[in-house]
Amino acid sequence: MMNSMQQDNVMTDIQNAFSDPQMVAKYTEGPPRFVPGYNSMLSMAAILLAERAHKDARMLVLGAGGGLELNAFAQAQPRWTFDGVDPSAAMLDLAKQTLGPLASRAHLHQGYIDDAPAGPFDGATCLLTLHFVDVGERLRIASEIRRRLKPGAPFVAAHFSIPGDDNERPLWLSRYSSFLAASGVEPEKAAAARKAVDGQLSILAPEQDEMILRNAGFSDPTLFYTGFTFRGWVAYA
């Protein structure tokens, strides 16, 4: 478990990475290749949101930089509008490029959950983001998302989540590294990615992730996606 100083250092490194022009330029190539079933996960997320949201819904997307999920949701639902939040200005610029003519339907905000509009929103997502923060901050973020949602509105979250105890964790990280190599990453870089994930991310067991959702005030957290070291849930405000 990282202490507060280590967490601050990790967050600084992550913020710097997501502001690096070379990293930003290549970002949209990454998740579809390196997250198992990524595009299908976005499609499933859109379906889960639409189950309880009307045709003119307003959605909150936390961690919207790059615009991949914004673009997928906007194409799936032509009348939805979005508020996207991300700390990186460069990644928000990329989101505008990714959205292209759909960008007029998204209001983009630089910052964190506290910089998000008050809503109330008809649904929310936080994809591939919560593993960057520790348990306490994760609970606070989930609670703030819950506070911005209409009663019964869906929330979809997906991130690194590894089952089992400390003895099982290395096996799952090895599988993640092997998946990267199978996706075309050089073996040395795949091994380095495994080390970075293990050392820098706050990865919980699935039951801990579900408990955070419940403690934040969400009901019925349901697992809908599993891709090796990644898991996704839908829960309701």
Instruction: Give the start-to-end residue ranges of the domains of the chain.
Output: 4-236
Residue 156, φ and ψ in degrees, nearest 5: -115, 125
> What is the residue-wise DSSP string for 212-223?
HHHHTT-EEEEE
Domain 4-236 - what CATH class? Answer: alpha beta
Radius of gyration of the chain (CA): 17
Spatial CB neighbours of 217, under 8 Å, sequence gap ≥ 6: 143, 146, 237
Cβ proximity of 81 and 105 under 8 Å? yes
What pLDDT, on a 0 to 100 scale, did the predictor assign at position 225? 98
Residue whose tokens read 């700390």:
87
User: What pTM was estimated for this model as a whole?
Assistant: 0.90
Per-residue pLDDT of the chain (237 residues; tens, 9 = 90+): 544 444 444 444 445 445 566 666 666 788 999 999 999 999 999 999 999 999 999 999 999 999 999 999 999 999 999 999 999 999 999 999 999 999 999 999 999 999 999 999 999 999 999 999 999 999 999 999 999 999 999 999 999 999 988 889 999 999 999 999 999 999 999 999 999 999 999 999 999 999 999 999 999 999 999 999 999 999 999
Cβ proximity of 88 and 64 under 8 Å? no
What pLDDT, on a 0 to 100 scale, did the predictor assign at position 93? 95
What pLDDT, on a 0 to 100 scale, did the predictor assign at position 29? 83
Alpha helical stretches, state H, the chain: 4-17, 21-26, 30-34, 38-50, 68-76, 89-99, 135-147, 169-182, 187-200, 206-215
Separation of alpha carbons 18 and 176, rounded Å: 22
What pLDDT, on a 0 to 100 scale, did the predictor assign at position 23? 61
Render pLDDT for 8-31 as a digit per residue (tens, 0 to 9). Answer: 444 444 454 455 666 666 667 889
Separation of alpha carbons 40 and 233, rounded Å: 14
